């Protein structure tokens, strides 16, 4: 008697929705970083503008995902996970995907310029950089790290410009080096999981694991230092119970980065959003960081 052939469960979402990668839209919550750091997120106008910035980035990033998957259709078919994406799997035709990419980009830019001109400019810059990355720069070592990291950085900037919030030097440093930390860690995990000769990303052939380890270690150190300097500057006489809540948040913040670095080192940080959504220890540390930070910022 032969064993039954396992049946792959049918996806709940249609192919055109899955091709826009809604599971990766969690990255776009970075638009709330500037309003949170400034303590203005709870203001109705700021909250609404932040929501629109989030929606705009979901649309513009969906456009980039569609273009990228059309561009990388052959290499994606060699990847154990990416081959299941709708375009690589043949579930969504390439002309349809490109038409949807144009539609989502147009909708995002229209919404962005309606909310705030600088938000529209930020979205347009994001689209241009990411399209350039997808078409020309993704196989260039170091430059590919900078291009992907710029996507995270522009998300963080977008939340500030949407509500005309000044961005401090410490905020920009944390956002910049935090973006580099995640991207270099992603490449390191890809190399650990697939090896440099897997044929799925040409730039991996030019990296060494020691170089990528240096890059994400350097970035992590810079993030902790920049965040700590910002936190120590925030203490005021009006803090609840006269405790340095911003400074207290440094400890769980550092532990969360150490936990994420542990996941990187095991080669399981190929998709940052999957790490954040699936690692319970990291989630607990994030809560332990968010509580004192929220007390320090909002109370």
Q: What is the pLDDT along the chain (299 residues), one digit of tens a residue?
A: 444 444 445 567 888 999 999 988 888 999 999 999 888 998 999 999 999 999 999 999 999 999 999 988 888 887 777 888 899 888 999 999 999 999 999 999 999 999 999 999 999 999 999 998 888 887 788 888 898 899 989 999 999 999 999 988 999 999 999 999 999 998 888 888 776 555 556 667 788 888 999 999 999 999 999 999 999 888 655 566 778 899 999 999 999 999 999 988 888 877 777 788 888 999 999 999 999 998 888 87
Whole-number pLDDT of residue 28? 93
pLDDT tens per residue, range 37-48: 888 998 999 999
- C-alpha dihedral over 161, 166, 168, 174, to 10 degrees? -20
pTM of the model: 0.83
CATH top-level class of 14-167: mainly alpha
Please give the distance of CA 22 from its chain centroid, rounded to a whole number.
13
pLDDT tens per residue, range 132-167: 888 888 778 888 889 889 998 999 999 999 999 998
Instruction: Output the CA–CA distances (angstroms, integers) from residue 59 to 33, 48, 282, in the order listed.
Output: 19, 17, 28
Contacts of 107 (CB under 8 A, 6+ apart): 59
Within 13 A of 81's CA, how many CA atoms are on the CB side?
7
Per-residue DSSP letter, 168: P
């Amino acid at each position: 008697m032969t064993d039954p052939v396992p049946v792959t469960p049918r996806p709940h979402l249609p192919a055109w929705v899955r091709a826009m990668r809604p599971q990766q839209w969690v990255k776009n919550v970075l638009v709330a970083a500037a309003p949170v750091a400034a303590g203005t997120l709870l203001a109705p106008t700021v909250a609404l503008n932040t929501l629109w910035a989030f929606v705009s980035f979901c649309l513009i990033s969906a456009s980039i995902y569609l273009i990228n998957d059309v561009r990388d259709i052959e290499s994606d078919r060699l990847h154990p996970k990416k081959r299941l994406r709708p375009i690589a799997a043949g579930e969504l035709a390439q002309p349809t995907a490109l038409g949807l990419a144009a539609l989502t980009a147009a909708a995002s830019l229209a919404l962005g310029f309606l909310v705030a001109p600088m938000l529209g400019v930020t979205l347009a810059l994001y689209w241009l950089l990411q399209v350039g990355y997808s078409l020309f720069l993704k196989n260039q070592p170091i430059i590919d790290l900078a291009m992907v990291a710029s996507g995270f950085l522009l998300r963080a900037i977008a939340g500030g410009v949407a509500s005309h919030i000044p961005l401090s030097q410490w905020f920009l440093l944390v956002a910049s080096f935090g973006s580099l930390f995640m991207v270099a860690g992603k490449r390191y995990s890809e190399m650990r999981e697939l090896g440099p000769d897997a044929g799925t990303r040409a730039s991996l052939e030019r990296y060494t694991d020691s170089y990528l380890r240096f890059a994400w270690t350097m970035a992590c150190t810079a993030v902790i230092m920049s965040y700590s300097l910002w936190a120590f500057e925030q203490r005021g006489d009006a803090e609840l119970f006269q405790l340095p809540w911003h400074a207290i948040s440094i400890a769980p913040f550092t532990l969360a980065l150490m936990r994420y670095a542990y996941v990187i080192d095991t080669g399981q940080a190929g998709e940052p959003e999957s790490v954040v959504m699936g690692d319970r220890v990291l989630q607990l540390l994030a809560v332990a960081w968010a509580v004192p930070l929220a007390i320090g910022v909002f109370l």
